[in-house]
Structure 1
């Protein structure tokens, strides 16, 4: 299994080395550096326009616009000091409309958007952008955390008061990246409340009835784009080294049950929209297998291979 993962794209290889082996940090860093020069990462970087954008667009079309291409590069593990990614990040930040720290890139909206603000904070944190606008955007996100601990992009437009799973995972990931980048605004308490929102829902169930909220939460394509699923949720808890709360057991069982007899996880159908290229065809998925093994290793507290 490990050999199969290590034989994949550089973006898979370095993450497998990091998560599933005892490789030295220098070896992991060396493998990660190749993302910019080989395989999927290099292909995406080659598509950048002369003005720093991708597909001549900021946020749409999905999934080839500058925002979503940068998000994919971040998930591939492109080093944070890559000048092309930093330039693209500057482009979207400079183009975004601003309202009291909140950001928007969508042409169809005339108000700040929590999800887009979260995505741009995430990119800024990962690709080394540090200025007062980022701190202001974080303050905006904290001001729009709902009473249940979650966030919802409809809270501004329609007054929604219940957290959205999609919006909440976007903001949790953004604030975590911001804290890891030594952001100036304290975010630990809001992060704890956001995680409790998911724990109260066993990650993907109604806190009232216990029913699965959306069956699409139990499949996990890569990249997840702006969508929530149980694997993405578990990845967040694993990434921050959270305690293995029993309220997550059900979600972990969803991931385990998707494993095929050969020990691998399958490719799950992606979300409709344009893409630069297909990373994986139908069959066993290195992405799903890597991500699931990483989560199970955290959950089991031992080698999950």
Structure 2
């Protein structure tokens, strides 16, 4: 496919994807993509998830896991992706107008508690990734999550990143935890302007990844893991260079800076995965129960991955 064919292919999609292609790839005027974006709440993926919301404001009756989940089965079944946090993540990332969920923040505050120590939902808990998503979702829905932003300042590790295993004594940052933490902090800075402290820790976290070229060990220069170019949508909590590069694209646009040249090898990995027809293949999503599939099976051309990768490469090339 040529560029126009790829664009047409992406536009023949759910509104959650289509509006982003119209805005970021095709360059449609605002009245076009905004009209498409407004349809998220009434049709397709967004409407399906909204219809599954419980009367108490949650999804699947739980904060991070469905109510009654048997944790003894997680190694066999995988993480279920149906509870409140995962559903809010999807709706927010797809671009749903938060006004559609008016009152949800209050309902969650009243009815949802973390599975960890029965902590109140909008106060966060001890996991970096969970706190990052809660920070972003709370800002989106209008909840008071200032304390979570401060939590990231207090829990940054000495090497500049974060690790969800800090409660187990880990002193080394994780690529996965650091990227997810950065996403939450960027959402905070975009929504509020941030504070000197949150802006400083975000810069340090970005430097942690950039010093490693987004995928290398600082000690040896070798790839940090086989998952660095395993491109699967939805990303969930997992790190790969496409997920990271898209974060740096958003951060650079917000901060008004050019792409950092230390990302060049990671960009090459993304470019190398492009098929001859201009698409990227689905590598497979993490296992676990879902409400419904949001993308194609492994091995097939993925509209979501093609959107993300094309947008990243366009940003990189334009600069």
* 1:36-55 equivalences in 2 (<5 Å): 36-55=41-60
Partner of 2:24: 19
Indicate whether 1:59 and 2:64 are aligned.
Answer: yes
Aligned residues: 289
1:180 equivalent in alignment to 2:195:
no
2:69 maps to which residue? none
Contact in 2 for aligned 1:139/1:185 (Cα 8 Å): no
Unaligned 5+ segments in structure 2 are 1-5, 67-79
Equivalent positions of 1:59-138 (< 5 A) are: 59-61=64-66, 62-83=80-101, 87=104, 91=108, 95-96=113-114, 103-104=124-125, 112-129=126-143, 131=144, 134-138=145-149
Cα drift, residue 121 of structure 1: 0.4
Q: How does 1:195-234 map to 2 (within 5 A)?
A: 195-234=206-245
Q: Report whether the alignment pairs 1:272 with 2:283.
A: no
2:9 and 2:171 map into 1 onto residues whose CA distance is 45
CA distance in 1, matches of 2:159, 2:107: 33
Name the CA shift for 1:92/1:248 in 2 (closer, same or farther; >3 Å).
Answer: farther
1:128, distance to aligned residue in structure 2 (A): 2.6
Where does structure 1 lack aligned partners over 5 or more consecutive residues? 105-111
Whether the 8 Å CA contact 1:220–1:268 is kept in 2: the answer is yes
Match of 1:8 in 2: 13
Aligned to 1:108: none
The equivalent residue for 2:269 is 254
- RMSD (Å), alpha carbons: 2.0
Q: TM-score, structure 1 length as denominator?
A: 0.89
Shift in Å, 1:73: 1.1
Name the SS of the counterpart of 1:95 in structure 2: coil
With normalisation by structure 2, the TM-score equals 0.85
Change (3 A) 1:142 1:213: same
Q: Per-residue deviation at 1:114?
A: 2.3
Kindly indicate whether the alpha-carbon contact (under 8 Å) linking 2:63 and 2:84 is maintained by their aligned counterparts in 1: yes
User: Is 2:173 the counterpart of 1:163?
Assistant: yes
Q: Name the SS for the 1:148 alignment partner.
A: coil
Match of 1:286 in 2: 303
Q: Find the aligned partners of 1:98 and 1:135 in 2 and give their Cα distance.
A: 16
Distance in 2 of aligned mates of 1:162 and 1:89: 36
Moved over 4 A (4+): 96-99
